[in-house]
Amino acid sequence: MKNLADRADRTPGLLLGITMAMGLVFLLFASPYTTPLNPYYGYDSAVFMVLGKGVAAGKLPYLDLYDNKGPMIFYINALGYLLGGRTGVFCLQVVFMGLSLALLYRLARLYTDIPRAWLALVVFAFVYCGSVGEGNMTEEWSVLFTVLPLYLGLRFLRTGVPAGEHPLGYSLLYGLCFGVQLLFRVTNAAPLGGLLLAFAVILVREKSFRALWKNMLVVLAGTAAVIGPFLLYFWRIGAMESFLYASLLHNFHYAAGGAAAKSWGDWLNMLLRISLTPVTVVLGVRQVRRGTLSFGSALVLSCVSAVGAAAMAFGHSYKHYFLLLAPAIVAGFALGMKEVAEAAGRSRGWRRRLCALVLVLCVAPYTVQSAIHAGKSILFNFFGYMDDQVRAMEEMNGYITEDRDKVWGFDIRANVYLYLDVVPCFRHFTTQTWMAEDSPFIMTEIQEMMDREAPVWIIAGSGEDVRAWLVDGYGYELVLAQDYGGSLSLYHRPRT
């Protein structure tokens, strides 16, 4: 095994092959709503899959199908559906995961030895299970576009070459990745924003102002090269306003409301999960003073971690947000392992043990969610935990024998459409009441749709108010009422 690890360290192709295999095995068990081991669909993941499936079938994002995210996640899922539906999405996940693991290994190797670099990948897997929840989340896809610029930037700084000689090709890549991150969700770009901030400070410190402007322009050009085509496309199809609102304003409303809604327990949980950030800063300062780490490297590691951690203060207390910090956590862990090795070299056992304990405590807050995630995956993959949901959806699907392009759901989870293998006929297709709390126009557009051209089939909750709205208000007939844990009803509007 040691020989294989040594060979992989020297051979990029072998390293990538190993990390691809690791990504495949890991995601088979850790991505419960896309893995081929079960037939289930999730929640947020299902929203992105519905949009991807719709885009692959010719639907227009934001006009035909709406969600408060940037379009990048829709098109990745659309590519997955073109490649093979749910399995296609999973295959893309494996590719992204394999590439991310290879780069995370290289990132860790900048500061620690081979065994500890592999250990850093275990830490990443632990953080993944302790945060992501479903798989196929924007944060998961974002990891690759954070770790690639971070690795290249830190590798350059290790050369000791003045920052003014920073390759413009790297800056172009930073800009491209920054643009991709913005098109997932604005806050996903926060860690990469920390990298750009750090390089700007380094260049100012060196008084390399010409290089600063050149690199800034190249970064902006890279970002524009990604965002520009989307802007032109959405302008051409008349979706510019919806695109900007969903990608920016809706998310800002949501973030502001989420930050205000955090309880003291939420804030405590957040602080515990970002506890490696101050540790990374302290370790960086210590090693700069000892001359074992450059100022630039310490600043990049600190800024990426700190700016990424600051973004966790916004939004609701969803654990999957913290996967955005995974590259910074791996880098901070590797820096901690460097401290452990240097402490051992100075024969100070208590410092070595203290540093190792601090690193363990910093990743410990992910333990409970990791255990829950593991239990969920076991139940889903080997014990048919949600088979009743699948059977209920099969029963409902048996009733929708015609007009399958005129199916819509009100206040339901998006996974219903995937189980039924239909694309919703109206753009606001899931959890509308909840989404309308930030965007009241959603309910107005739903009312206009119902008055103009009501769907033939509607799936909704089993509440009496919904039943009265559809049966008494629009003449729908109740076809099927289910209670498998989801309490859904199927309504049909007879032809007049």
Report pLDDT for 255. 61
Q: Helix (H, G, I), strand (E, B), or coil: what is residue 482?
A: coil
Gap between the terminal Cα atoms of the chain: 72
Please state the rounded mean pLDDT for residues 160-178.
95
Q: What pLDDT digit, counting tens, does each position of 408-465 carry?
A: 999 999 999 999 999 999 999 999 998 888 888 999 999 999 999 999 999 998 888 8
DSSP state of 409: E
Beta bridge partners of 490: 459, 480
Using the CB atoms, write b or e for 191-224: b if 16+ within 10 Å.
Answer: bbbbbbbbbbbbbeeeebeebbebbbebbebbbe
Sign of CA dihedral 235, 241, 244, 247: negative
Please give the residue that has the higher pLDDT: either 352 or 156. 156
Backbone angles phi and psi of 73, in degrees to 5:
-65, -30
Calpha distance 494→391 (Å, rounded): 26
Element (H, E) at 490: strand 488-492
Report pLDDT for 487. 86
Report pLDDT for 485. 61
DSSP state of 59: P
Q: Helix (H, G, I), strand (E, B), or coil: what is residue 329?
A: helix
Please state the rounded mean pLDDT for residues 49-55.
97
Residue 444 structure tokens: 């107005």
Q: What percent of the chain has pLDDT over 70?
A: 95
Q: Is the pLDDT of residue 344 over 80?
A: no
- Domain segments of the chain as ranges: 111-378, 387-492
Calpha distance 81→180 (Å, rounded): 20
Q: What pLDDT digit, counting tens, does each position of 354-399 carry?
A: 888 888 999 999 999 999 999 999 999 999 999 999 999 999 999 9
Please give the residue that has the higher pLDDT: either 204 or 261. 204
Q: Which long-range contacts (CB under 8 A, 24 or more apart) does 368-372 make?
A: 368/130, 369/129, 369/130, 369/131, 369/133, 369/319, 370/126, 370/129, 370/130
What's the longest Cα–Cα distance across the chain? Answer: 87
* This prediction's pTM: 0.94
Based on its alpha-carbon atoms, the radius of gyration of the chain, rounded to whole angstroms, reads: 24
Calpha distance 30→122 (Å, rounded): 13
Q: Is the pLDDT of residue 128 over 80?
A: yes
Q: Is the pLDDT of residue 256 over 60?
A: no
Q: Pick the most confident of 96-110, 312-326, 350-364.
A: 96-110
Report pLDDT for 172. 98
Cα 441 to Cα 63, 67, 122, 242, distances in angstroms = 14, 13, 45, 12
Q: What is the mean pLDDT of the chain?
A: 92
Q: What percent of the chain has pLDDT over 90?
A: 78
Please state the rounded mean pLDDT for residues 67-90.
95
Calpha distance 19→108 (Å, rounded): 14
Please state the rounded mean pLDDT for residues 251-274.
75
Q: Is the pLDDT of residue 274 over 60?
A: yes
Please state the rounded mean pLDDT for residues 256-264.
66
CB 145 within 8 A of CB 222: no
Q: What pLDDT digit, counting tens, does each position of 4-16 carry?
A: 888 888 889 999 9
Packing angle of the helix pair 138-158, 295-311 (nearest 10 deg): 170
- Lowest-confidence region among 66-75, 192-201, 317-326, 390-399: 317-326
Q: Is the pLDDT of residue 28 over 90?
A: yes
Beta bridge partners of 457: 407, 492
Report pLDDT for 240. 94
For residue 320, count other CB atoms closer than 10 A to its CB. Answer: 20
Please state the rounded mean pLDDT for residues 281-295.
93
